[in-house]
Structure 1
């Protein structure tokens, strides 16, 4: 029997269930350093199954913004401005969402496979300019760092941020 890992966030209105499968994890929106942003950033999207009154209520995609310091030593989890996994949740529910993200970044082998797949695809990318090569090296360094995240690396900051 093949058992799947899942995590449940119980909210006032429903249960949001994350099943640890590749198809339920998305990594996108990578941003590199520039003179206005001294950090790297990307979004993690999770497909969550919703159960309300013990009935399937549909799926939803929820996001968390991940920010990594310039020295690649600290990782911050922030609330994005759209489809936030922290939206409309009280403090206890937000803590459950943080626990889910912490599980994902530290313990989930499926998440690490998703990251490894992205790294593999990036390594196959045909780049020609020195700027593209530099950007590719940065992405690879950030993503390779995600494969070795520890609890000490993570800092949760739940606040809305609109970064232009």
Structure 2
């Protein structure tokens, strides 16, 4: 029997269930540091099954962002403006979301497999100019760093936005 790894975020109204499969994880929006911004940045999306009143209520994609320092020694998790995994959650529910993110970045074999696949595809890319080569090498370094998050001395902090009501 092949059991799937899953994680559950229990909210006030429903259960949000992440099933650890490559098809349920998305890495997008890779940005490079520039003179105004000293981080690499990317968005990670996870598909969550929603269960309300013990019935399937649909799925949703939730996102969180990563800011990674140029020296690849520090990762900051941030809350995106739209479809945030932290949206409409109390502190306890946000802590459960952080535990899911921690699992995804450090332990998830499917996340690591997705990153390895992205590294392979990047290595196959045809880059020509010096700028493309620099960006290509930087992206490879960041992706390879994501494979070793659990082995590095990485500081993790969550930046959330305070919205006045």
TM-score over 0.5 for the pair? yes
Q: Which residue of 1 aligns with 2:159?
A: 158
Whether 1:68 and 2:76 are equivalent positions in the alignment is: no
Instruction: Note the 1:51-62 alignment, pairs <5 A.
Output: 51-62=51-62
Q: Which residue of 2 aligns with 1:40?
A: 40
Distance 1:60 1:75 in 2: 25
SS at match of 1:160: coil
Question: Residues 73 and 153 of structure 2 are in contact (CA less than 8 Å); yes or no, is this contact kept in structure 1?
Answer: no
Distance 2:102 2:155 in 1: 8
Distance 2:46 2:100 in 1: 10
Question: Residues 76 and 159 of structure 2 are in contact (CA less than 8 Å); yes or no, is this contact kept in structure 1?
Answer: no
Distance 1:69 1:127 in 2: 24
Instruction: Note the 1:13-162 alignment, pairs <5 A.
Output: 13-150=13-150, 152-160=153-161
Return the offset for 1:152.
Answer: 4.1
Runs of 4+ off more than 4 Å: none
- What value does the CA root-mean-square deviation take over the aligned residues? 1.2
Question: Residues 77 and 154 of structure 1 are in contact (CA less than 8 Å); yes or no, is this contact kept in structure 2?
Answer: no
- Unaligned residue ranges in structure 1 (runs of 5+): none
Distance 1:86 1:143 in 2: 24
Deviations, residues 9-29 of structure 1 (Å, cap 9, x unaligned): 000010000000000000000
